[in-house]
Structures are given as structure tokens and as C-alpha cells.
């Protein structure tokens, strides 16, 4: 968004400093000018930096799709502007994994608090999140801390741009699983990111609920969609104590029911069974 210049400079430098890898950095200004940066490719490196300015804010999935369209590499590493890679070996590590595992579509990184805090449970994309240093297969991933096989990303249509914010990664993940790919949480691939609550976004509750309905309508067989949404209604009522938050959430839920969710491609029951065996059935 152009308002975190020092943080963006740090993020770009952490990408350009990757060892044993040529990195093509694409910076997307999502309805904002990309600020002038001091980060530049090391002398003699084949790494490059290009910027794209979108006329309007197209949301997180729209911005990421434009970035993928502009790049040419086989592997795309998404990085939010306030994050940075903890090691110069991250790119080489994920490249080796993707080269050796042709059915691997996504590596979700381990997110570490740069101030030494315990980290956030939501940054470990599985139900048993108590040990963030344990790698495992998963059924979703962190959109701003991941590496994705570009061909797989394009094969399933990228991220759903109408979502704008929230659950776009899960929509993509479910479609990748349906196409037969694997998703891994890799604790060796580490990035730093400050601890910030997602509720800082003004429309968090509304968009979270609306997109959860769209996620179900787009991807789940109707019996599973009913269970999934019923489950989240109960969980939200039990978790939220704020009347304003609940009002915004149910307003978003109604929007999700009434407005178009886009193309419906329900997953096969065998995909749902596979997710169940991985410990995260598509009703949670």
C-alpha cells in the first residue's frame, strides 16, 4: 500500500540476499505508488526487481494474481511488505523441495516473532498447533508466508479475486488438493513477521463471514457446506463477546448467502476424505 517504506525495503533486501538462487522480485502497488527503495540486486547477480502499480486496490488475491502474471519463475514466494526471510537459504531450500517432489504445490513457512514472542497459533495451519517447529502435511497455508508451484497455481485459476480479503488461500488450497497436489507446513522455511491481530482490519468480521460462506458455496458438496457453515455459526457465537463484532459477522454471512460466490466446483468426496485423514476435515 506504499505506507511502510522501511519495512518494504527490508522485505525486498531479504529476497535479494538469497544465496544460490536468482530471485525475480515483483512489487505490486495495490492502488498505490511503489516508494523508491534502497534495496537492489547484488553486483553480478541475475536477480531483478520490477514494480507494478494497480490503478485501484484490487484486494489481496487480486494483487497476488497480478504479481504471478508478471513473473516468470517456476516457484512463487509470496511475502507481505512487513515480513522478511530469516535466512538467505530459504529460496534454495524450497527450490530443492519442489524439484524433488513433483506433487508438492505449496510450502507454508514457519512465522517467527522477531521480538522473541511465542508466535500466534493461527500461523500454524493445522489444528494441533502447539509445536510450530514440527513440519507436517496440511490442508491450507499462510498467503503471505509461502512458496507455490506457479504451474499448479495457474492450473486451478489462482486466488478468487472477489474475496478481496480473507480465506482466499483456503479456497486455493482446497482446489489444489482436489487436483491431487500436496501442501506442506515446513518448519525449516522461516520468515519473520511482527505479531499483529487480524481484527485490526476494519472489515475483518464482515469479510471473514462473507468469504467463509463463499468458500463453502464454491468448494463443498452441499451436505458438507451445511455442516461447515453451521459449525462456524456456533463457534462464532461461543467465541465472540462483542455485540458489534457479532453484528458485523452476521451481516457478512447474509452477504455471502445473497451475493454471487463465483464459479462453483465442489470437491470430490475422496478429497474430503483425504482432508479428514490429514486431520482437518472440511467442516472445521
User: How would you write the chain as a 3-class SS string?
Assistant: CCCCHHHHHHHHHHHHCCCCCCCEEEEEEECCCCCCCCCCCCCCCCCEEEEEEECCCCHHHHHHHHHHHHCCCCEEEEECCCCEECCCCHHHHHHHHHHHCCCEEEEEEEEECCCCCCCCHHHCCCCCCCCCCCCEECCCCCCCEEEEEHHHHHHCCCCCHHHCCCCHHHHHHHHHHHCCCEEEEEEEEEEECCCCCHHHCCCHHHHHHHHHHHHHHHHCCHHHHHHHHHHHHHHHHHHCCCHHHHHHHHHHHHHHHHCCCCCCCCCCHHHHHHHHHCCCCCCC
CA distances from 58 to 98, 163, 164, 205 (A): 29, 10, 7, 19
Longest pairwise C-alpha distance within the chain: 58
**What's the mean pLDDT in 72-83?**
94
Higher model confidence: residue 7 or residue 1?
Answer: 7
Q: Which three cell numbers stand for residue 55?
A: 490503478
Q: What is the CA angle 213-217-218, rounded to 5?
A: 115
Q: Which residues partner with 108 through β-bridges?
A: 146, 185
Which CATH number does 5-196 carry? 3.90.550.10
Backbone φ and ψ for 41, nearest 5 degrees, come out as -60, 140
**What's the mean pLDDT in 41-49?**
89
* Assessment of whether the complete model's pTM goes beyond 0.85: yes
**What's the mean pLDDT in 255-262?**
97
Residue 144: left (phi > 0), alpha (psi -120 to 50), or beta? alpha
Would you state the pLDDT for residue 25?
97
Would you state the pLDDT for residue 29?
95
**What's the mean pLDDT in 205-215?**
97
Q: Would you say residue 18 has pLDDT above 80?
A: yes
Q: Would you say residue 200 has pLDDT above 70?
A: no
Residue 177 near residue 266 (C-beta atoms within 8 A): no
pLDDT band, very low/low/confident/very high, at 1 (cuts 50, 70, 90) = confident
Q: Would you say residue 199 has pLDDT above 90?
A: no
**What's the mean pLDDT in 221-238?**
97
Q: Is the dihedral of CA 181, 183, 188, 190 positive or negative?
A: positive
**What's the mean pLDDT in 254-281?**
96
Least confident of 43-52, 56-65, 251-260: 43-52
Higher model confidence: residue 194 or residue 259?
Answer: 259
Would you state the pLDDT for residue 201?
66
Average pLDDT score over the chain: 94
How far apart CA 10 and CA 235 sit, in angstroms, is 38
How far apart CA 93 and CA 111 sit, in angstroms, is 16
**CA nearest neighbour of 16 among 69, 81, 85:** 85
Would you state the pLDDT for residue 15?
96
Q: Would you say residue 118 has pLDDT above 70?
A: yes
Would you state the pLDDT for residue 78?
97
Where are the domains positioned within the chain?
Answer: 5-196, 203-277
- Report the 10 Å Cβ neighbour count for 255: 16
Amino acid at each position: 500500500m506504499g505506507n511502510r517504506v522501511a519495512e518494504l525495503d527490508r522485505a525486498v533486501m531479504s529476497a535479494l540476499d538469497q544465496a544460490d538462487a536468482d530471485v525475480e522480485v515483483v512489487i505490486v502497488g495495490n492502488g498505490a505508488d511503489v516508494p523508491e527503495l534502497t534495496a537492489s540486486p547484488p553486483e553480478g547477480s541475475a536477480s531483478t526487481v520490477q514494480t507494478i502499480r494497480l490503478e485501484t486496490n484490487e484486494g489481496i488475491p487480486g494483487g497476488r494474481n497480478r504479481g504471478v502474471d508478471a513473473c516468470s519463475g517456476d516457484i512463487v514466494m509470496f511475502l507481505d511488505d512487513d515480513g522478511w526471510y530469516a535466512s538467505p537459504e530459504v529460496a534454495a531450500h524450497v527450490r530443492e523441495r519442489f524439484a524433488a517432489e513433483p506433487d508438492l504445490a505449496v510450502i507454508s513457512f514457519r512465522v517467527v516473532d522477531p521480538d522473541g514472542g511465542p508466535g500466534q497459533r493461527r500461523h500454524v495451519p493445522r489444528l494441533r498447533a502447539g509445536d510450530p517447529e514440527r513440519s507436517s502435511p496440511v490442508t491450507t497455508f499462510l498467503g503471505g508466508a509461502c512458496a507455490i508451484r506457479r504451474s499448479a497455481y495457474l492450473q486451478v485459476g489462482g486466488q478468487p479475486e472477489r474475496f478481496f480479503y480473507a480465506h482466499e488461500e483456503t479456497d486455493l488450497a482446497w482446489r489444489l488438493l482436489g487436483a491431487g497436489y500436496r501442501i506442506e507446513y515446513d518448519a525449516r522455511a522461516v520468515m519473520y513477521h511482527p505479531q499483529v491481530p487480524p481484527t485490526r482490519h476494519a472489515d475483518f468480521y464482515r469479510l471473514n463471514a462473507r468469504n467463509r460462506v463463499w468458500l463453502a458455496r464454491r468448494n463443498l458438496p452441499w451436505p458438507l457446506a451445511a455442516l461447515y457453515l453451521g459449525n462456524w455459526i456456533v463457534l462464532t457465537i461461543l467465541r465472540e463477546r462483542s455485540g458489534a463484532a457479532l453484528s458485523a459477522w452476521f451481516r457478512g454471512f447474509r452477504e455471502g448467502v445473497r451475493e454471487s460466490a463465483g464459479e462453483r466446483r465442489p470437491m470430490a468426496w475422496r478429497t474430503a476424505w483425504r482432508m479428514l485423514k490429514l486431520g482437518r476435515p472440511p467442516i472445521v
